[in-house]
A and B are shown apart, each in its own frame.
Chain A
Amino acid sequence: MAKNDLIGGSLWEQYSAKVSERMNDPRHRGEISEEEARALGARLVVADWGAESCGDAVRLYWAVDPKTDRILLAKFKSFGCGTAIASSDMMAELSLGKTVDEAMKITNIEVERSLRDDDGTPAIPPQKMHCSVMAYDVIKKAASIYKGVDIASLAEEDIVCECARVSLRTIQDVIRINDLKTVEEITQYTKAGAFCKSCIRPGGHEKRTHYLVDILRDTRAAMDRDQLALQAEARDFASMNLIQKHRAIEKALDEKIRPALAADGGSLEVVDIREAEGTAHVYIRYLGACRGCISSTRGTLQFIENMLHQELSASIRVIPL
């Protein structure tokens, strides 16, 4: 919150002049008929995206030269707000003269940039960014129709934030690499969630497949698991967790100590391991002949401790009970 947020601006005040112009008089509105396409020696492609019940819908018409895959004519129709109409118009314009493969590289971000009056000022306010996303989606759809493939086969990435075009993979990576702990940090690093905010958590502007809160939680959980798995590989005593230390100590006792004690009819058991200031305190209880043996607090104890130092770590103290 700050001075400008308290009163709040009007959405429309934040539109560029280009957005207003194209809303008032879209240059590429309209349809392409089969006859027109035929006259150009082109194939007609008609792609629909969105639905009236979702608040936005767009239909893209392309006349594509089948020999060169070049888009000779592009028109659109749109059910949507000013941003949706202006960005559909710009999208049609940007696709003109490109091959279908080139057109597929047009994103909503490029559409928005092309609608700016000057480079430094966004063409539309953040909460309107999602209205430009359709322009990207409908191109994909048109390309899939032209190529005769399923649209899913053209989706190279799993997009979480449509407005800023941030993929699931990117978000997972920045969380891991930068050890991010909050959604706000994800937004700072990637811009995901900075615009219409639908992708932050369920219950926003529109339903999404992925939400940042879930990705953060799942990625953090995966990071914890990886950390544990890494530890399972731990070979050096200091980096082991308590269970691993216990296991290592028991193993050393079984291999190096208990057989020697057994030769004299004794044994020992580990009662507890407590860690303090980098030292593992191993509490043991003697069994059998070792109990009450005079050496058990001197020579035998020294032997046990030396053996553990040698096998595992110098930071082990053995305390008989």
Chain B
Amino acid sequence: MERIYLDNNATTIVDPRVKEAMDPFFCRQYGNPNSLHGFGTEVHPAMRLAMDRLYAGIGAADDDDIVINSCACEGNNHVLLGVYFDLIRQGPRNEIVTTQVEHPCVRNACAFLESLGAKVTYMPVNGDGIVDAGTLRRHIHPDRTALVSVMWANNETGLVFPVRELAEVCRENGVLMHSDAVQAIGKVPVDVASVPVDFLTFSAHKFHGPKGIGGLFIRRGLKLTPLLHGGEQMGGRRAGTVNVAFLVGMGLAMEMAADNLAYEDSTVRRLRDRLEDAILAIPDTLVVGRRELRTPNTILASFRGIEGEAMIWDLNAAGVAASTGSACASESLEANPVFVAMGIDDELSHTSIRFSLSRFTTAEEIDRAAAVIRRSAERLRAISSTYDSVR
């Protein structure tokens, strides 16, 4: 049985061309790029090409920085902690404004900064599941907000946030703006030339590059205290020998992600909609967020009467990989803030399953997955103690 991978918001397959591009840098061109000798210098052209591709991929200017790091989690921590050291600890700006629906790496870094004395405001999402400019205007304070951090697209729902408008509000108020774009690259256009964010973070493994490498965009000339201290790599912004092979891979993956945006918006979207239609054809299901507001690859579906983890179990047994944000062993059973804000019945908080496609997903896979989902829904609803009562 061929397995079907519909968990591309968790991680993606490395594109075979990316793997091929990385290959020479393990056993042949393995030099340390900081070395003076030929082993070191011979890797520079490939690194420069990779950097060119990254800059082009997000529309960065030559005098901006893209710091190569280990992942978006590191980049997000770097931005938050850096701003804490540069601004918050110095006063009088002591406040970070973010959202209730950020990834844990932003939320938990914020909680850590709160323990150090920073004030953090968690903005709610609106009825569409996103934070709009009006909400930001109500929470931003030009005199005391140090940083606004809002994700470009949500990992669970796929909902795309109006980052351009949010960044403009920050500009008007003279406040720094960060966006975690880890779920956006390769799915929707991300262009820092036209969207005035100051910091932007991404991970290669979300767009068919390898795990363990990512990037942090820093707008030209901005100070940001390093997270890692040591050598002078990355112009002193991040110490540590650059992972040359992975940087080469990430560069190519970024170029392909940008080139594939049209395919993503047409074919992946069509396949996603096909799966979504098949899910909605099952009685008592819903999908969170309007289609046109979401990344083209993501569905957060809810199946009444079915606990999320139970369905993931069934799907896995049938070779289909998806995920649930509502695993009953998770730390908290609190209602999902997105569901609450969007007025979705809190009964449904534990019934959600996320399906996320990629450019490698095929129509045949979608049809097989749809059949598996339908079978699981029927089986689990036959066992469910709550389904007949909701009907």
Taking Cβ atoms with an 8 Å cutoff, the residues of A that contact B are: 11-12, 23-24, 26, 29, 48, 51-59, 76-82, 84-85, 125, 127-128, 131, 196, 203-206
- Whether A205 contacts B347 in the complex (CB less than 8 A), given A80-B307, A81-B310, A82-B309, comes out as no
A276 to B326, CA, bound (A): 63
CB-CB nearest 3 A-B residue pairs = A59-B385, A77-B385, A81-B309
* Residues of B contacting A29 in the complex (Cβ-Cβ under 8 angstroms): 382-383
Residues of A within 8 A of B387 (CB): 79
Give the residue name and chain of the B residue nearest to A206 (CB).
B333
Q: A58-B385, A78-B384 are in contact. Are A52 and B331 (CB under 8 A)?
A: no
B329 near A203 with CB under 8 A, answer: no
| Interface residue B317 (Cβ < 8 Å from any Cβ of A) | yes
Are B384 and A77 within 8 A (Cβ)? Answer: yes
Instruction: Pick from A57, A76, A131, A204: contact of B386, CB below 8 A.
Output: A57
B residues whose Cβ falls under 8 Å from a Cβ of A = 305-307, 309-310, 313, 316-317, 326-333, 335, 346-351, 382-387, 390
B310 touches A80 (CB 8 A): yes
Decide if A78 touches B313 in the complex (CB within 8 Å).
no
Tell me the complex Cα distance, A182–B347, Å.
37
Contact A54 B329, beta carbon cutoff 8 Å: no
Establish whether residues A12 and B307, one from each chain, have CB atoms under 8 Å apart when the complex forms: no
Q: Which residue of A lies closest to B384 (CB)?
A: A79
Instruction: Take A24-B317, A84-B307 as given contacts and tell me if A78 and B329 are in contact as well, using a CB distance cutoff of 8 Å.
Output: no
User: What is the CA–CA distance of A53 and B390 in the complex, to the nearest angstrom?
Assistant: 13
Could you jot down 29 A-B contacts, CB within 8 Å? A11-B327, A12-B313, A12-B316, A26-B383, A48-B385, A51-B347, A51-B386, A52-B347, A52-B348, A53-B346, A54-B333, A55-B326, A55-B328, A55-B350, A56-B307, A56-B328, A76-B385, A77-B383, A77-B384, A79-B386, A81-B309, A81-B310, A84-B307, A84-B328, A131-B328, A203-B332, A204-B332, A205-B329, A205-B331
Report B-chain residues with C-beta under 8 Å of the C-beta of A12. 313, 316
Determine if A78 and B328 form an interchain contact, defined as CB atoms under 8 angstroms apart: no
Return the contact of A53 from the options B309, B349, B384 (Cβ within 8 A). Answer: B349
Extra pairs beyond A29-B383, A77-B384, A203-B332 (15, CB < 8 Å) = A51-B347, A52-B390, A53-B335, A53-B346, A53-B350, A55-B307, A58-B385, A78-B383, A79-B307, A81-B328, A82-B310, A85-B383, A125-B329, A127-B329, A205-B332
- What is the CB-to-nearest-CB distance from B233 to chain A, in angstroms, rounded to a whole number? 26
Q: Could you tell me if A79 and B331 are in contact, using CB atoms closer than 8 angstroms?
A: no
Complex Cα distance A54/B316, Å? 24
Residues of chain B lying within 8 A (CB to CB) of residue A206: 333
Among B313, B384, B386, B390: residue with most chain A CB under 10 A: B386
Q: Which of B335, B382, B383 has the most CB of A within 10 A?
A: B383
Do residues B331 and A204 form an inter-chain contact, with CB atoms below 8 A? Answer: yes
Residues on A with beta carbons closer than 8 Å to the beta carbon of B331: 204-205
B305 and A52 form a contact (CB under 8 A):
yes
Q: How far is the CA of A55 from the CA of B307 in the complex (A)?
A: 7
**Is A23 a contact partner of B313 (Cβ separation < 8 A)?**
yes
Given the interface pairs A53-B350, A55-B328, A80-B328, the reply to whether A205 lies near B307 with Cβ below 8 Å is: no
A25 nearest CB neighbor, chain B only: B379
User: With the chains together, A56 CA to B347 CA distance in Å?
Assistant: 11
The answer for the CA separation of A63 and B257 in the assembled complex, in Å, is: 61
In the bound complex, CA of A82 to CA of B327 (Å): 11
A234 to chain B, nearest CB (A): 45
Name the contact of A81 in the complex, choosing from B307, B335, B349 (C-beta under 8 A): B307
Query: Which interface residue of A53, A58, A59, A131 has the most chain B CB atoms within 10 A?
Result: A53
Q: CB-CB < 8 A to A54: which residues of B? A: 333, 350
Q: Is the CB of A52 within 8 A of B350?
A: yes
Cα–Cα, bound, A162→B316 (Å): 30
When distances are taken between beta carbons in the complex, the residues of chain A under 8 Å from B330 are 205
Contacting residues, chain A, for B327 (C-beta < 8 A):
11, 81
Return B309 CB to nearest CB of chain A, in Å: 4
Q: How far is the CB of B36 from chain A (nearest CB, A)?
A: 37
Query: How far does the alpha carbon of A77 sit from the alpha carbon of B310 in the complex, in Å?
Result: 13
Establish whether residues B385 and A57, one from each chain, have CB atoms under 8 Å apart when the complex forms: yes
Selected contact of A52 from candidates B309, B316, B351, CB within 8 Å = B351
Return A31 CB to nearest CB of chain B, in Å: 9
Are B332 and A79 in contact (CB-based, < 8 A)? no
Chain A residues contacting B317 (CB-CB under 8 Å) are 24
**In the complex, how many angstroms separate the beta carbon of A133 from the nearest chain B beta carbon?**
12
**A57 to B317 Cα, complex, angstroms:** 23
Give the distance to chain A from B306, nearest Cβ to Cβ, in Å: 7
List, in ascending order, chain B residues with CB within 8 A of A76's CB: 385
Which residues on B sit within 8 Å (CB–CB) of A196? Answer: 329
Give the distance in Å from the alpha carbon of A48 to the alpha carbon of B386 in the complex.
Answer: 10
Question: Which residue of chain A is the closest to B388 with respect to CB atoms?
Answer: A77
With contacts A12-B313, A55-B326, A205-B332 taken as known, whether A78 is within 8 angstroms of B385 at the C-beta atoms is yes
Provide the residues of chain A in CB contact with B347, threshold 8 Å: 51-53
Closest to A80 in B: B307
Question: Roughly how many angstroms separate A125 CA and B333 CA in the complex, as a whole number?
Answer: 18
Residues from chain A with Cβ under 8 Å of B382 in the complex: 29
Are the C-beta atoms of B386 and A52 separated by less than 8 Å? yes
Determine how close the nearest CB of chain B comes to the CB of A319; give it in whole angstroms. Answer: 52
Known A80-B310, A81-B307, A84-B328; judge A55-B333 contact (CB<8 A). Answer: yes
Q: How far is the CB of A103 from chain B (nearest CB, A)?
A: 19
Q: How far is the CB of B348 from chain A (nearest CB, A)?
A: 8
Q: Which residue of the partner chain A has the closest CB to B304? A: A52
Q: Contact check, A205 vs B333: say whether CB atoms are below 8 A apart.
A: yes
Alpha-carbon gap, A204 to B306, bound state (A): 23
CA gap between A131 and B328 in the complex, in Å: 8
Instruction: List chain B residues, Cβ under 8 A from A26.
Output: 383
Please, how many angstroms separate the alpha-carbon atoms of A59 and B382 in the complex?
13
A55 to B332, CA, bound (A): 11
The smallest beta-carbon distance between A153 and chain B, in angstroms, is 25
Q: Least Cβ distance of A7 to chain B in Å?
A: 14
